[in-house]
Amino acid sequence: MPAAPRPASTAGGGAGTGGDEALTADDVKQEIETAATGAGFVQAATGDQVPPGLEKCMVSWSAEAKKAADPKKSYTDTVAALGKESWKTDKTFSQSGSTITSLSKGGWQLKASDHSAGVLKLVMFIATDTSPACEALFKADLEKSKQ
C-alpha cells in the first residue's frame, strides 16, 4: 500500500520544489516507495539492506518483480514517476535485457536497476547521498570492511 504523500512544507520539499531543499534518506525512501508501488511493485521482504551507520546516507528499495504484472513496464513507470518528483535522469544503459538508469536530485544519486527479463527477476533502487559528510562515512565503512 503506498504511503501518504508528504505535505509540501516537509524538508526535502514535495512535487515541484525542484529539489532545492535538503533531502533526507526518509524523503528519498518515500519518493522511491511511492513511485514504485504506484507503478505496480510490492517491496521485497529483503529490501532495505543498508550497512549499519549508513542509514542517513543510503536508501535501498527492492521490488518483488515476480509479483508485478509487467515488471519492465512497472520499472519504466517508476522511473517516469520519479522524474515527475524532480529526479533528473542522467544516463540509461541497457544490455542483455537489463536496464540501469542513473538519476539525481538534491545531492542524491539513484541507481534504478531492472534485471527482470531473466530467471532472476531482480528490480532494485539504491540511492546515496553525495554530501561530504556521507562520503566520509562511506569511506570509513569501506576501510572497516577491508580489515
Residue-wise pLDDT tens digits, 8-39: 333 333 333 344 468 999 999 999 999 999 99
C-alpha distances (whole Å) from 75 to each of 56, 57, 108 are 25, 23, 19
Residue-wise pLDDT tens digits, 64-114: 988 999 999 999 999 999 999 999 999 999 998 899 999 999 999 999 999
pTM over 0.75: yes
